[in-house]
Chains A and B, each alone.
Chain A
């Protein structure tokens, strides 16, 4: 007999986090802080209401996987290729420098040499979860400094994987042992990356093209694709153990690569909007559960040392990043914003510490684990504010940083639409409108959720965006807010209302409606013109009928244009349109 209740832990976590989260929003604080605090309050450190369960652990794990997947979906290789070299040059010295400083701090404090090594290894990374979540929330993930941060985080992620693999293998017998593990991990990462990129070139385009029209199917197959990578990364050890290889690959890495493969497809924008909410939900559980694993006594054993190290590390991380980014000739603002984002210690630091505790024999004890966790929690919390107010901060300090100004900085590519035309939904009405609008406007982007439509419009030489305009992500990418003219050939009231909400008085908005009542409602919401397509259509048809009964040859002449167009059987026929209608 199956006997289940709803998981109480999950219920408490979700409800508590929502309450605190809303409070955080209300007080103008980042939600991450709210979530971490929730974990502290309801976990063993605070009220002791919740203990981590399999379900919460799984959701937290999913949170990280989805976060990285989402990040992957956003990375178009063409857009980041030029950043690969600087990122490698930044991340390697950064990790060495920060690791050395972390080790130094620990040695100065009452930690043994071995403990200090682990602490050094644990504080090297900046938090993927914090940085990416904040960048996403602020819409900066694809800005230049966002891309640099993400790149460095991924480089660190590879290193985490290696460190974990080494720790999992137990106390290394020697340098050869470390080199062996290192080699295997590098090979695995390379193989997976190549597989993902190859798939995005040769397999996925035709596969996803077939299913893209079906929203649900696209979503589920994308998730299935994600889980394929998650499964392989997670079980790589089991898969490779028969051939005697001890391997390790992080789920996060797999998730990122799964996303990366999808990012190269035209359907990625649509998926971003759909994956985002799931990510929000699971990442919330992740942040709450960070603090759930600890007893107060362990967590606070070294609290004074933790405060000192946290402050010291944040300063050191900022300086190291600032110098390295500056060295790579990024402009001052990018350098500052890129550095200020990376000052925290990562949740991966905790993972590394946990691995060190669980290693046989353990490298560190519970108290040291608590120390590392506390440093991570504090730096994460503080850094969130720095990221939240990064631009304001930059404006304040900019005058003092002028000596770091670059004369010839690396320029970010700017591809945003301004004062353009957005056409929603492709059909015959939209086609006619496109032909008229292209005389007046340089930039026209067509949004549609049908693969054939998108291809036809693209072939006709217009910019296209595959996706559902009801998703904010799509409207943002099409720059609906900044458009000069919005033309919607969708007659869904809801869609058009959303468009009218998003646009200002200055934008000319044409929308379509099915009934007179809806048309009136749309005029009230600010539409400049509402196309009552059914009525217009009937009116036109009745004009044809009039000629049909009056004089057959007139009728034939009148419909000749339509017939030519209809006979073409093409979605975007290349036919000169009749000039004007034939009414008065």
Chain B
């Protein structure tokens, strides 16, 4: 209790981070860049004992990887790689190679003295360049998920970003394993892999045999369970340390040892979550604090001398930013369009993933700690991470606008596939219903139209739904709903009714522009938003809760009036469920016919 220097450093970090977080909230920026900036700022004051902070920060890494691997088990393991996963892997490869090449070029420039005489970096070895490549390749989870504000993900570009993210996460963990192998030579990798397998094997054994014992021993005490799990994590970290492999491997294995039971142990998992958030915050702030900028006073006194040593770092950082913010979206976009996605979804997905991911930062810091990465390159990576995360926030917020600008200037070229090849619409269709989206709602609406012999056209842009569209729909257009070609082909202007089941702002706006001539039904889950949509001409606004409430009122009212016995209601509603079971999930793979008959 005598030495509180560490406490003071932590306190200063958080005190500086607080206002930055508030500012970030005001500007709708995400949390991580603010934390890095707070660290960057405090780091320049020279108050922080880097080694001590790093010890705490590495707990943050451990918790991040740990919670990642706890979740792995619940997600069903897929054996077939989807097209998005291929896109993610190819994207990572391309960016990785580009990053590597760029770093090598910088290295050569340094060698020949073109860049600087500051002497901070003499040369860039292949190893250093490799890390630049890795960091350029990985964009991942946390930054991504906090950016997503839309609650639902039937929107194509949202689920695309999510999926590419999780592939990236997985790649990152694998890379960390390799990085921790100490060198890229083959022999140690084999040894490290052996240790890794050993740890994971132990973890699985614990999961199978010991975890149940742990549950019995803690006998329902959340505190004991929480602390046991933390201790288990720490034990694995210590084991990893002992085997001289990365703590990331230990944390990953520890996650596998825990049975994911978020219902029974909700308090425990909530607890882990809080602890994780605390240490992760310290982690990102510390990362920022490790960067040394040229001192401001020196810059003012003698700009050229002070900045010169910093030039190589800035060059690498700038290169990484360009790679992630400009090149990466282009690569992702091209790959997605090639796989049949429309230009808009492809572009917007690219714009959502244009940053250095936090797993990339973890790879960098592990490499630094293990001594493979020299400090200037590390600093460049961190700077690039902070800058690209902030820029990514901006591009995500204005993704549709950016798309419009690029499309209107003709930068995106023509749509990759001709709308004409991917649709089936009778030439003379008119007075028809246009159903936008072929998810759960869309399917039910199609059924209804077929029942009453009402002509319809479905518009959908998810390639996964294409085979279903072909098999099940009388008329469909597979394309981005907002493109003018789509409007022409579906003969939108002659339609009697447009029903949009997609809760996408740009699509909603687009359809409302036809409200003068046709009836337009759009969808939103925000009740206050509905008023605005009606104001702008919507014939009706689908607010899912509102519609369901109408039907619910009866059962609830009857129950409370005593017309129903609760058990009777339960039995009856369970019965109904059996007839309702048929409506499919929105999964694209299904092509069964549907028997949902709701006219009870």
Interface residues of A (CB under 8 A from B): 1-8, 10-11, 14-15, 17-19, 21-22, 24-26, 31, 54-55, 57-58, 60-62, 137, 207, 210-211, 214, 216-217, 219-221, 223-228, 230-231, 234-235, 251, 273-278, 280-281, 284, 351, 354, 427-429, 431-433, 436-437, 439-440, 470-472, 489, 494, 497-498, 501, 508, 510, 515-517, 519-520, 523, 527-542, 544-546, 548-549, 559, 562-563, 565-571, 577-578, 580-583
Contact = CB atoms under 8 A, between A and B. Distances in A.
Contacts of A31: 221, 223-224
Contacts of A281: 226-227, 230, 275
Given A428-B527, A563-B540, A566-B531, A510 B556 contact: yes
Interface stretch (B106-114, B322-330, B542-550): B542-550
Contacts of A17: 227, 231
Nearest to B263: A497
Contacts of B482: none
Given A3-B51, A17-B231, A436-B560, A530 B573 contact: yes
B437 to A, nearest CB: 12
B235 A15 contact: yes
B189 interface: no
A428 to B, nearest CB: 4
A537 B547 contact: yes
B547 A541 contact: yes
A276 B8 contact: no
Which of under 10, 10 to 19, 20 to 34, or 35 or more describes the interface residues of B?
Answer: 35 or more
**Which among A58, A211, A583 has the greatest number of chain B C-beta atoms within 10 A?**
A58
Sort A-B residue pairs by CB-CB distance and give the 8 closest, nearest first. A224-B18, A569-B531, A277-B271, A18-B231, A428-B545, A537-B547, A536-B548, A227-B14
A540 B278 contact: no
A541 B445 CA distance: 9
B1 to A, nearest CB: 6
A565 B546 contact: yes
B7 A230 contact: yes
B448 A545 contact: yes
Contact of B231 (A19, A539, A545, A569): A19
Interface string B96-120: 0000000000000000000000000
B534 A563 contact: yes
Contacts of A541: 441, 542, 547
Interface in B181-232: 214, 217-219, 221-224, 226-228, 230-232
Given A55-B52, A537-B544, A549-B454, A18 B237 contact: no
A513 to B, nearest CB: 10
B479 to A, nearest CB: 25
13 contacts: A25-B219, A210-B25, A210-B26, A220-B21, A275-B274, A277-B271, A428-B543, A498-B263, A516-B580, A523-B573, A539-B551, A563-B534, A565-B546
B368 interface: yes
A536 B551 contact: yes
A210 B19 CA distance: 13
A251 B11 CA distance: 11
Contacts of B13: 227
Contacts of A498: 263, 266
A6 B237 CA distance: 8
**Which among A354, A562, A565 has the greatest number of chain B C-beta atoms within 10 A?**
A562
Contacts of A581: 550-551, 553-554
A63 B27 CA distance: 34
Contacts of B557: 436, 580
A494 B262 contact: yes
A70 B363 CA distance: 35
B540 A559 contact: yes
Nearest to B452: A549
A55 B223 CA distance: 22
A293 to B, nearest CB: 8
B218 A25 contact: yes
Contacts of A428: 527, 543, 545-546, 548-549
A234 B17 CA distance: 18
A536 B596 CA distance: 12
Contact of A531 (B227, B232, B552, B585): B552
Contacts of B548: 428-429, 531-534, 536-537, 540
A503 B569 CA distance: 18
Contacts of B271: 276-277, 280
B11 A566 contact: no
B234 interface: yes
**Which among A217, A429, A437, A538 has the greatest number of chain B C-beta atoms within 10 A?**
A538
A489 B221 contact: no
B219 A26 contact: yes
A299 to B, nearest CB: 17
A540 B437 CA distance: 19
A519 B227 contact: no
